[in-house]
Amino acid sequence: MTSRTPPCHRRPRSRAAAPSPPADRHIAPLDGLRGLAVLGVLFFHAGHFSGGFLGVDLFFVLSGFLITGLLLREAQAHNGRIDLLGFWGRRARRLLPALAVMIAGTLPLLWAFGPLPLLRHALDDTPWVLANLTNWHFIADQVGYWQAGDTRVFGHLWSIAVEEQFYLLWPLVIGLAARGRHGGRCVAAVAVTGAALSLIVMIALTNPADTTRVYEGTDTRAFSLLLGALMATAPASRLINRLGERAAGWAALILTCGISTYWITVDGQSSPSLFHGGLFLHAVAAALLIACLARAPHTPLGQILGTPGLRWFGLISYSLYLWHWPVYLILSEERLGMAGWARTALIIGVSIAAAAVSKALVEDPIRFRAPWAKGRAGACALLVTFIALVALWALIPEPRTGLGTVDVTRLASGAPTQPGACPPGGAL
């Protein structure tokens, strides 16, 4: 009898031996995965990689996984309670300063140097950008994602709007579902149910002639965020943790090969299967890949994704995403007098430089080293910034001279106005 360990003693020991939740540690390969996602988007928009738009989907899954992990850890530490104002304040410090600087820099540049159609549309879109409703604005105005993206300098911000709407609503859901003994299971059930409903809505609303509604809708893209969120819950974590590190590493490698193949073979609007389950299956594979990398970050694949170069691109991915599309449109083929890979190298280089400056001078100082950006002072700073952006928008005169040299018939038909232009894809 004395040699047996009572059950009450075994349970705490098994819990202590369980791996830490993903939110408890920094997972270097996920930075590299984010870097690959943003590079895919950059080359897609430059007209060199037809499947690179799927980097947006990967961003969504990553966001759902990381944010849900943080929220669940907070709920577990405080008996199911989440500091919503604190969470939203951290998200605001992370996302809004760089976004505000990009808007404040892009509008004067367009006024001084940009084609009139770009300025006209930018002024039309700015209020919706500030309201985090860009995606619904484009849907309501029937701005075709695949056809008219090269006329909207803020067209890429539809995905930022989707994420910010998710950040607003999902903490409320977790705050209700995570309470009680079975909070993790409840959150997992909500994520699974929500993802399934989102897929059903996408299939039901898909219009083969124009998939903008289902591609940019928050409801129809929610499954990517929710599948990522599912992988951060306790039930999913327990299943993944049953894999040994070696098995998780092999699973991650197989998933990476499958995802890479899909990125190479898919072709946007020309692949109708995307909107009848293709995007959903891609999100499932991405969610499993992220969970396996979190389980086994030190495998060969994890070490490759954790290399300094890829991680650096991942760390600047948000600012790089914000700046690249305005740079692409302002530095058009006509303005530069060059095309092909020469122009691609230049516009990507300018985008990277702008992102690095934004990261060093705007994002990091405000996020990590600015006491005034927190609490009431931070709220006041946010309000002042919003007022300043509204004033800038109001002061820039709207063009009154028509559409310049743009072929109006091509705009009306939804045809691209610039050779080789690709529609904006989405976010960090």
**Cα(68)–Cα(64) distance, rounded to whole angstroms?**
6
Classify residue 370 as left (phi > 0), alpha (psi -120 to 50) or beta.
beta
Split at pLDDT 50, 70, 90, the class of 406 is very low
pLDDT at site 142 = 85
Among the listed ranges 91-95, 263-267, 269-273, 383-387, which one has the minimum average pLDDT value? 269-273
Closest to 255 measured CA to CA, from 295, 207, 198 = 295
pLDDT at site 147 = 66
pLDDT at site 208 = 85
Rounding to the nearest 10 degrees, give the CA dihedral for residues 238, 83, 91, 424.
60
Place of tokens 């999100």: 283
**pLDDT more than 90, % of the chain:** 71
First to last CA, the chain: 58
Split at pLDDT 50, 70, 90, the class of 375 is confident
**Higher-scoring residue by pLDDT: 148, 251:** 251
Q: Would the pLDDT of 359 be above 70?
A: yes
Stretch 345-355: mean pLDDT: 97
Q: Would the pLDDT of 273 be above 80?
A: yes
pLDDT at site 78 = 83
Q: Would the pLDDT of 16 be above 70?
A: no
pLDDT at site 401 = 58
Q: Would the pLDDT of 130 be above 80?
A: yes
Identity of the residue numbered 139: I
pLDDT at site 302 = 95
Q: At a CB cut-off of 8 Å and minimum separation 6, what does 352 contact?
A: 316, 320
Cα–Cα distances (Å) from 169 to 175, 225, 347, in that order, read 10, 12, 36
Split at pLDDT 50, 70, 90, the class of 125 is very high
pLDDT at site 331 = 93
pLDDT at site 3 = 39
Overall residue count recorded for the chain in this entry: 428
Place of tokens 């990261």: 359
Split at pLDDT 50, 70, 90, the class of 424 is low
Q: Would the pLDDT of 18 be above 60?
A: no
Split at pLDDT 50, 70, 90, the class of 79 is confident
Stretch 99-117: mean pLDDT: 93
Stretch 229-248: mean pLDDT: 93
pLDDT at site 25 = 63
Residues 174-191: pLDDT tens digits?
Answer: 999 988 777 789 999 999
**Higher-scoring residue by pLDDT: 403, 213:** 213
Identity of the residue numbered 52: G
pLDDT at site 323 = 97
Stretch 318-324: mean pLDDT: 97
Stretch 327-355: mean pLDDT: 94
314, 31 in Cβ contact below 8 A? yes
Q: Cα 240 to chain center, whole Å?
A: 24
- Mean model confidence pLDDT for the chain: 87
pLDDT at site 118 = 92
**Range of 351-365, 366-380, 400-414 with top mean pLDDT:** 351-365
Q: Cα dihedral sign for 91, 162, 263, 261? A: positive
Q: At a CB cut-off of 8 Å and minimum separation 6, what does 319 contact?
A: 98, 102, 354, 355, 356, 358, 359, 362, 363
**Cα(404)–Cα(427) distance, rounded to whole angstroms?**
31
Q: Would the pLDDT of 425 be above 80?
A: no
Stretch 134-152: mean pLDDT: 83
**Range of 146-150, 382-386, 401-405 with top mean pLDDT:** 382-386
pLDDT at site 4 = 40
